[in-house]
Structure 1
Amino acid sequence: MRDLSIKTPLYMLAAVIAVPIAVLFYSAGPVGIASSFEDPQFISSLGLTMLGASIAAALNVALGTPAAYALARGLIRGEGALYDLLLSPVSIPHTVVGIMLLIMFSPASPLHYLLGSLNPLDTLWGMILAMFYVSAPIYVMSMREHFERSDLEMERFLGSLGMSPSSIFYSVILRGSLGSIARISLLSMGRAISEFGSIVILAYSVSMAPLFYYVKPATVLIWYKYDVYGLSAAVGYASALLVVTLILSLLAYLASED
């Protein structure tokens, strides 16, 4: 009984998260979910979304992994301010993110003379840019925590032998962190898939011949179905996308720790 005050909030929080998921699946039913996966429009939308999220996750790994290590080891000046800057997209409204990214390439931008020839609107790379912007903070934060928990003795020993931090990271640390990289990149991929606010502004409907012609990203498609046809039309698509994101979460859970 003494632990009840600790356990009860945990169970309440779990219920708040689990009950809406269960209700959504109940409302859609197996037939509704299966029919969504048989819908060519949803399959095209899901393919576009998975492609963009995979590329965004790859960018997170390529850029975020060494960045997180540098932050964890204090290898740069102003580490605290830089870390806060990298986490800032978490607190920026995502419609604002979409406006920021869009206007950066517009004639109103001071960078227009450099970026003006690049048009992110309704393009695959515009969608990837939005996904990367909102998912990178999660990846960097989680990888930094991983590196901070790792044993420093070996790194100190290798440093005493004359190895630079970069050599230690790429030769030793990176190889030993593959499990965490896989797990956290899957989580960041799930975050990229779930993005709506910035994508609906930057990439409402994507065309990229010969793969995609006016295909809406999955979250935008669900909103479109709800806005135009009502709640009942969106439930099956929402449930199907939830299945995909839960599978990613399961894979992240199963990914081996270091």
Structure 2
Amino acid sequence: MTRPSLPLVPLLMGVMLVVFLLLPTLVILLHGLSGGFFPALLQPVVLDALKVSLVTTTITLLLTVGLGTPIAYLLARYRFRGKILLDTLLDLPIVLPPVVAGVGLLLTFGRNGLLGPALTLAGISIAFSPAAVVLAQLFTSAPFFIRASKGGFLAIDRDIEAAARVDGASNGQVFRFITWPLAFPFLLEGMVLAWARALGEFGATILFAGSLQGRTQTITLSIYAALESDLKPALVLSAVMVVVAFTMLGVVRRITARRSRGES
């Protein structure tokens, strides 16, 4: 049995789209990884941006897992009034422009924002600080983890958990030894997606946290700033982002493939 041949015109149009999507990425790698990569990578502005991004995204990921897992479990396992509304609101940051998210965070946690006076009285200043970077990343990335985790909890056969309870396991033991391990591939996928989204955050961060080298200037903000002065650090950081993004996507694909093989 022969495979049907693809129509020529749609095939050519598809090839044009593939070239369009891949060519800019390849150009970034070509220029960013060319001669002078390591000297540019060791420049203070580049190292500061890498350090700020690594520290803030790690904290963001820990907060996302710690705060997002209970919410995902709640949405997956319980029925309550307003569940659909809550689920929709938690997904809103995914489609909300990051700049709008930054405005919302500034109006909420800024000095003159909704919680600003109370935070000032407590001696806490969030806007334009590393904490603001974390909050901006958390706002834009946490929904990706919640969505993936919710899917993981929904995919678990409830009979397995029920059998463990019949054998005398407590709810905590069931979650620790049954629910969490079975849902972990989904949670891991959500972690990767959330971390990658936090790493690439720009709009909310620049509005809410500013771009202070060594404090709030992440990789994306450093690329934007370097474009106005020295192009080489911007190219190096862009190449690093491409490599990291490709690696993260590869990890997600492998997780998804292993999960599919395990279900089949």
Describe the shift of the 1:4–1:173 C-alpha distance in structure 2 as closer, same or farther (beyond 3 A): farther
The equivalent of 1:217 in structure 2 is 218
Describe the shift of the 1:65–1:145 C-alpha distance in structure 2 as closer, same or farther (beyond 3 A): same
8 Å Cα contact 2:128/2:216 also seen in 1:
no
8 Å Cα contact 1:190/1:249 also seen in 2:
no
8 Å Cα contact 1:33/1:239 also seen in 2:
no
Q: Gaps (5+ residues) in structure 1?
A: none
Q: CA deviation at 1:188?
A: 0.9
The equivalent of 2:136 in structure 1 is 130
| Code of the aligned partner of 1:34 | F
For 2:184, which of 170, 175, 178 is the aligned residue?
178
Q: Gaps (5+ residues) in structure 2?
A: none
The equivalent of 1:85 in structure 2 is 89
Pairing of 1:107-256 with structure 2 (within 5 A): 108-116=112-120, 117-158=123-164, 168-206=174-212, 212=214, 214=215, 216-226=217-227, 228-229=228-229, 234-254=234-254
Describe the shift of the 1:99–1:77 C-alpha distance in structure 2 as closer, same or farther (beyond 3 A): same
| Code of the aligned partner of 1:190 | A
The equivalent of 1:64 in structure 2 is 68
- Measured in 2, the distance between the counterparts of 1:164 and 1:85 equals 32
8 Å Cα contact 1:104/1:112 also seen in 2:
yes
Describe the shift of the 1:68–1:3 C-alpha distance in structure 2 as closer, same or farther (beyond 3 A): farther
8 Å Cα contact 2:165/2:171 also seen in 1:
yes
The CA deviation string for residues 4-45 of structure 1, in whole angstroms up to 9 with x for no partner, is 48x969877655543322121123343254343222321121
| Code of the aligned partner of 1:121 | A
- Measured in 2, the distance between the counterparts of 1:15 and 1:69 equals 41
- Measured in 2, the distance between the counterparts of 1:4 and 1:92 equals 38
Query: Structure 2-normalised TM-score?
Result: 0.79
Query: Structure 1-normalised TM-score?
Result: 0.81
8 Å Cα contact 1:103/1:109 also seen in 2:
yes
Describe the shift of the 1:54–1:165 C-alpha distance in structure 2 as closer, same or farther (beyond 3 A): same
The RMSD of aligned alpha carbons is 3.1
Aligned length: 251
| Code of the aligned partner of 1:53 | T
Q: CA deviation at 1:2?
A: 4.0
- Measured in 2, the distance between the counterparts of 1:38 and 1:65 equals 37
Larger CA Rg, structure 1 vs 2: 2
What percent identity do the matched residue pairs reach?
24
| Code of the aligned partner of 2:208 | L
- Measured in 1, the distance between the counterparts of 2:149 and 2:77 equals 12
